[in-house]
Amino acid sequence: MYIKKQSQRFIHKGIFFLITFTFVLSCSNNDDLEPPTTTTTIPTTPTNPTNPTPPTVNYADINFSNWKVTLPVDEDNNGKPDEYQPNELVNLGYQTLPSVQPFMYDDTDDESLVFYTYPESSTTNSSYSRTELRELINPSNSRENWTLLEGGIMKGRLKVDDISEDPNSSNTYHRTIVMQIHGIISEEDMNTFNFSSNNGPPLLKIYWIDGYIWSYKKSLIDETTTGNDLLDTSNSTWTDEKQNLGYVGFDVFDFEIIASDARLSVQLNNETPYIYEDVSLDKWPFENYFKAGNYLNTTDATAFSYIKYYNLYLTH
């Protein structure tokens, strides 16, 4: 599969380099406050060409009004992964942005939106790169987010279209995160405790691992933890509770996340939803935002992944 799909995409490579050296666009700040780290390795994996004609069709059913996108590159050399805001993506705007097109582009054959990524630029909070959407319930203020009490629903239809093999682990392929609920320290707590960063731990990560969909949900190591100690974002306070939700391989699948007061529901296709209801959710001190796309969990220089989304919906 790897060799076949690489050859099909090889024609895109030259255009990716032309885009990279020709266009330098301004991007907004990362909402995590920390400066990112970058690498300089350019993969051999080719990318998608820009659309030479004015766009008229929105193929995948995704409303960008409340999404910004983070790319795996730092073309403006500001030390942060490039980002594009909702107002730049809506009304087919993403189709006209030369710097976005190599990483988030339409596949007109199956009417999907492709998220392509490889290891290059990442934030300090992670070693991994991504082409990923980040929810903005208020497009003009990334500090405004939602609590579990307020809740929210994200659902989408997607598939892993292609991903590199992993020679350095027991897995056949590299793994990638396709959906998340990410925690963020509220503005109130930032002001109260004078934190230097608002970055919180991810409450929920949905992984594709060798064709299986895994749910990683944050839980307290010590359920008696209370008060300000709950705001500690380290692995000494919060750990991942892991659940295998089933096999999808490289096929299309549906996934839904429902977040509510002290409760999470995750559902793969028409399977029985897996429900989390526990003390850790009841004590979760962070605000939250949804993420969706392609968050490749490797720094291997030749790694890559292609995720296709056919639809993506948000409800609050």
Note the pLDDT tens digit of each residue in 296-316: 999 999 999 999 999 999 999
Q: Compute the CA torsion angle 242, 263, 126, 17 (nearest 10 deg).
A: 100
Cα→Cα distances 51→56, 62, 148, 177, 263, Å: 11, 19, 40, 28, 43
Amino acid in position 204: L
Query: Can you read off the two tokens belonging to residue 84?
Result: 């594009």
Q: Tell me what pLDDT residue 4 has.
A: 38
What are 258-277's pLDDT values in tens digits?
999 999 999 999 999 999 99
**What is the average pLDDT value for the chain, to the nearest integer?**
87
Per-residue model confidence (pLDDT) at position 124: 62
Cross-strand pairs, 68 = 134
* Choice among 4-18, 208-222, 230-244, 271-285 with the minimum mean pLDDT: 4-18
> Which tokens belong to 310?
């056919």
CATH node for 2-50+57-315: 2.60.120.200
Contact 136, 86 (CB under 8 A): yes
Strand ranges of the sheet holding 212-220, from the earlier edge strand across to the other edge: 83-84, 67-70, 130-135, 287-296, 176-184, 199-209, 212-220, 238-247
Which of 45-59, 157-171, 214-228, 231-245 is predicted with the least confidence, judged by mean pLDDT?
A: 45-59
**In the 8-state DSSP scheme, what is residue 66?**
G
Mean pLDDT over 121-145 rounds to: 91
Q: CB of 134 within 8 A of CB of 59?
A: no
Computed over its alpha carbons, how large is the radius of gyration of the chain?
A: 19
Q: Nearest to residue 9, comparing CAs of 161, 175, 174, 211?
A: 161
pLDDT at 127: 86
The stretch 168-178 carries a mean pLDDT of 97
Confidence of residue 5 (pLDDT cuts 50, 70, 90): very low
For residue 16, what are the contacts with CB-CB under 8 A and spacing of at least 6?
A: 46, 47, 48, 102
Indicate whether 65 pLDDT > 60: yes
Q: What is the dihedral of CA 139, 255, 9, 82, to 10 degrees?
A: 20
What residue ranges do the domains of the chain occupy? 2-50+57-315
Phi, psi of 155 (to 5 degrees): -145, 150
pLDDT for the residue numbered 56: 65
| Helix (H), strand (E) at residue 282 | helix 279-283
